[in-house]
């Protein structure tokens, strides 16, 4: 071994130079990377943020004249709430009947995708989907409380969506008027004979019942009813109830106002959405639409509960309207015919039969409880009020 000591300085200097060069090269390489190329996690977060920031502009067409009390206002309220809940990310422009499509063209327009949403009543589409009528209202059927119990917790919503699936539509309940009035008549109804030859605006299955009772039913949009009744095109018309009827001025052209609303005991409005459009929304916006529709269903019902009583008081006390109850004979006749219509329709239409059986089962079960709860309570309350 060489006894001379080894000089390490040159070797150390070389090592330091190599290390410095490597560090410098690494820094240059890092700086040369594109600044917009995030990691996979960051990229996912960035894409998610971009989607959530996207603003959607949709159109809603309705079957109601613009800003009609209850119905039209309900559609406007639904659009407003969705806008507010989404922070402006889903903005909906509402069109009244005939502004963009005819009152009875809502279903086809939304199905085709020419607009994203529609607000209407499912019984208007009886020619396309006869069973859809159960999701608005049917003669001697469920009231609002029972109907929403069936739709939301009794399997009704699943059946409804099954019916609409072939049309690329997703339905939601979106409002309720409560029990309606039987309508406005220009002559007294004292017996079944008085129905014969009577021409009346009355849609859905109730129209079919009315025809079999000897009358003639026609389906006229709400915006055309006043003129039709005034000019004698029709002899009678049902629309909704006191709030809407007072606003339309029917008390000026018809003498008698009949109850009860045997034909529509608790009609639900519907929100229909083009399925392709709905599925294009982020999940949070889908949830907002779903729960906004449900909230506005109750809101419309609450509104009618409050305003119908005030409007009825105005009609009777200040407008001189004569309130009449349909004779029991007439109501019994309508009931018997309605049961015949359901049985015949179910025998020839499997879809109708499937929905009808579910509907009828829930109504019968609910009725057993309503008899000792809501119905009995109303009777007792009235007895005590009269006896006081």
| Confidence tier at 306 by pLDDT (50, 70, 90) | very high
Cα-trace Rg, the chain: 32
pLDDT reported for residue 51: 54
**Averaged pLDDT score across all residues of the chain:** 89
**Has residue 44 got a pLDDT over 90?**
no
User: Rounded distance, CA 237 to CA 250, Å?
Assistant: 9
| Confidence tier at 255 by pLDDT (50, 70, 90) | confident
**Has residue 47 got a pLDDT over 80?**
no
From the list 143, 141, 184, 138, the residue with the least C-alpha distance to 324 is 184
Q: Which helix (H) or strand (E) holds 120?
A: strand 117-120
| Confidence tier at 50 by pLDDT (50, 70, 90) | low
pLDDT reported for residue 38: 43
**Using one digit for the tens of pLDDT, what is the confidence trace for 147-166?**
999 999 999 999 999 999 99
**Using one digit for the tens of pLDDT, what is the confidence trace for 222-248?**
889 999 999 999 999 999 999 999 999
**Three-state secondary-structure class, residue 90:** strand
User: Rounded distance, CA 345 to CA 343, Å?
Assistant: 6
**DSSP state for residue 102 in the 8-state scheme:** -
**Has residue 303 got a pLDDT over 60?**
yes
Do residues 186 and 256 lie in contact, with contact meaning Cβ atoms separated by under 8 Å? yes
**Using one digit for the tens of pLDDT, what is the confidence trace for 69-112?**
999 999 999 999 999 999 999 999 999 999 999 999 999 999 99
From the list 128, 134, 114, 92, the residue with the least C-alpha distance to 289 is 92
More confident residue, 381 or 10: 381
Read off the pLDDT of each residue in 200-216 and give the average, rounded to a whole number.
Answer: 96
| Confidence tier at 180 by pLDDT (50, 70, 90) | very high
Cis peptide before 14 (omega within 30 of 0): no
pLDDT reported for residue 221: 87
| Confidence tier at 179 by pLDDT (50, 70, 90) | very high
HSE toward the beta carbon, residue 295, CA cutoff 13 A: 13
pLDDT reported for residue 49: 53
pLDDT reported for residue 32: 46
User: Rounded distance, CA 108 to CA 99, Å?
Assistant: 15
**Using one digit for the tens of pLDDT, what is the confidence trace for 268-287?**
999 999 999 999 999 999 99
List the Cα angle 207/208/210 in 5-degree steps. 65
**Has residue 41 got a pLDDT over 80?**
no
**Using one digit for the tens of pLDDT, what is the confidence trace for 325-370?**
999 999 999 999 999 999 999 999 999 999 999 999 999 999 999 9
**Has residue 42 got a pLDDT over 80?**
no
Do residues 258 and 150 lie in contact, with contact meaning Cβ atoms separated by under 8 Å? no
Instruction: Show the DSSP H helices in 249-327 as ranges.
Output: 275-280, 283-317
Bridge partners (DSSP) of residue 1 are: none
**Has residue 15 got a pLDDT over 90?**
no
| Token duo for residue 210 | 């009315």
Least-confidence region, from 48-52, 194-198, 301-305: 48-52
| Confidence tier at 188 by pLDDT (50, 70, 90) | very high
Do residues 232 and 179 lie in contact, with contact meaning Cβ atoms separated by under 8 Å? no
pLDDT reported for residue 244: 95
Phi and psi, residue 93, nearest 5°: -100, 125
């Amino acid at each position: 071994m060489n006894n001379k000591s080894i000089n390490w300085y040159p070797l150390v200097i070389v090592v330091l130079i190599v290390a410095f060069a490597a560090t410098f090269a690494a820094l240059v390489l890092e700086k040369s990377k594109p600044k917009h190329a995030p990691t996979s996690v960051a990229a996912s977060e960035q894409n998610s943020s971009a989607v959530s920031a996207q603003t959607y502009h949709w159109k809603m067409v309705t079957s109601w004249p613009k800003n009609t009390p209850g119905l039209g206002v309900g559609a406007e309220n639904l659009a407003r709430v969705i806008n507010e809940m989404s922070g402006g990310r889903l903005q909906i422009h509402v069109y009244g009947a005939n502004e963009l499509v005819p009152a009875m063209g809502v279903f086809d327009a939304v199905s085709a995708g020419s607009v994203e949403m529609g607000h209407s009543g499912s019984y208007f589409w009886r020619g396309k989907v006869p069973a859809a009528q159960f999701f608005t209202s049917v003669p001697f059927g469920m009231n609002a409380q029972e109907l929403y119990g069936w739709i939301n917790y009794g399997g009704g919503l699943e059946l409804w969506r099954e019916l609409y699936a072939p049309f690329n539509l997703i339905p939601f309940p979106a409002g309720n008027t409560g029990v309606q009035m039987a309508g406005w008549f220009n002559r007294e109804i004292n017996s079944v004979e008085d129905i014969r030859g009577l021409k009346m605006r009355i849609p859905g299955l109730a129209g079919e019942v009315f025809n079999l009772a000897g009358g003639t039913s026609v389906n006229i949009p709400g915006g055309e009813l006043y003129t039709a009744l005034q000019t004698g095109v029709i002899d009678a018309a049902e629309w909704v109830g006191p709030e809407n009827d007072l606003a339309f001025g029917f008390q000026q052209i018809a003498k008698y106002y009949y109850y009860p609303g045997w034909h529509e005991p608790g009609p639900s409005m519907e929100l229909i959405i083009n399925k392709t459009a709905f599925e294009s929304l982020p999940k949070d916006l889908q949830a907002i639409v779903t729960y906004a529709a449900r909230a506005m269903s109750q809101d419309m019902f609450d509104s009618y509960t409050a305003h119908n009583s005030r409007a009825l008081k105005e009609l009777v006390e200040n407008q001189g309207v004569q309130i009449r109850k349909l004779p029991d004979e007439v109501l019994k006749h309508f009931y018997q015919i309605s049961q015949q219509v359901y049985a015949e329709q179910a025998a020839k239409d499997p879809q109708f039969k499937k929905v009808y059986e579910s509907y009828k089962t829930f109504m019968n079960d609910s009725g057993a409880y309503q008899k000792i709860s809501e119905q009995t309570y109303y009777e007792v309350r009235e007895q005590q009020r009269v006896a006081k």
